[in-house]
Amino acid sequence: MLEADIVMRGDEPIMAHPPDTDSDITLREWLEGVKVHSKGIKLDFKSQEVVSPSVALLEEVLADSKRPVWVNADILPGPGGQARPLEPEAFLSAVTNLPTDTVLSLGWTTGWTADAGSPGYSWDNVQQMEEICRTLKHPVTFPVRAAFLAQSLSQLTWLLQQSHRMQEDACPPVCLSHPAEWGIGSSGATVKYTLTVWTGQSDRVLLQDLLPYRKMFDISRIYYDLPDSQRTELSMI
């Protein structure tokens, strides 16, 4: 999957990850470039103002594309999070008209330091997220920080269980090298929840913390966006 971090420069979406605010490539140029590939794309929105113009570009440039598309934003505060999340209602309103097989990647702002411990995702975190997502027509994946998984098994298990009331669509198995290349959705299909496990560059992650998730969840319900070395180790367990 090809990922794009997007910020606004003036009135134009560009490719940059905060704190960077400038770039030598615009989102339009990037989308034109990916048209020649068949890989899925993931757009990671870093501010509310960039969402609507980016969605308009996506619909214009890749109007006839059949590739998997994910749109990602942190819409709630989470463990250790200091950054301001995007406003949930405004973000979801901006993406609501995207095709129903577009995956909404909806997460929490987080922060981790070695001396601060790992509080995990709280019951308030997951209950607030589920309340926001329960009526959505798109499939939803929740990006969760690997450093917090050991403390969050009960909460995240509950969150995934909330999709039991929804139609269980067939879903291809996870591919560790391309954790996000899939899509759910046929006419009348309903939401299905999944997790996408990710890690920060300086995070301290024990693969043993991921094992309960591998044992409890079907491979169609959890995806791994991890460094190559960790993906390789995990695939051998």
pLDDT in tens, 58-68: 999 988 778 89
Residues ≥6 apart with Cβ < 8 Å to 113: 80
Q: What pLDDT, on a 0 to 100 scale, did the predictor assign at position 182?
A: 32
Asked if residue 89 has pLDDT above 50, the reply is yes
Q: What is the pTM of this model?
A: 0.85
Q: How confident is the model at residue 164 (pLDDT cuts 50, 70, 90)?
A: low
Asked if residue 188 has pLDDT above 60, the reply is no
Name which residue leads in pLDDT, 222 or 171. Answer: 222
Name which residue leads in pLDDT, 94 or 227. Answer: 94
Q: How confident is the model at residue 87 (pLDDT cuts 50, 70, 90)?
A: very high
Q: What pLDDT, on a 0 to 100 scale, did the predictor assign at position 185?
A: 31
Q: What pLDDT, on a 0 to 100 scale, did the predictor assign at position 174?
A: 36
Q: How confident is the model at residue 181 (pLDDT cuts 50, 70, 90)?
A: very low
pLDDT in tens, 20-41: 778 889 999 999 999 888 889 9
Q: What is the mean pLDDT of residues 35-59?
A: 94
Q: What pLDDT, on a 0 to 100 scale, did the predictor assign at position 57?
A: 95
Residues ≥6 apart with Cβ < 8 Å to 223: 141, 174, 179, 180, 194, 195, 196, 197
In b/e form, how buried is each residue of 32-51, taking b as 16+ CB within 10 angstroms? eebeeeeebbbbbbbebebb
Cα 22 to Cα 15, 26, 49: the distances in Å are: 8, 10, 16
Q: What pLDDT, on a 0 to 100 scale, did the predictor assign at position 191?
A: 53
Q: How do the residues of the chain divide into helix, strand and coil, expressed in percent and rounded to 5?
A: 35, 20, 45
Instruction: Report angle CA 125, 174, 208 to the nearest 5 degrees.
Output: 60
Which amino acid is located at 23 in the chain? Answer: S
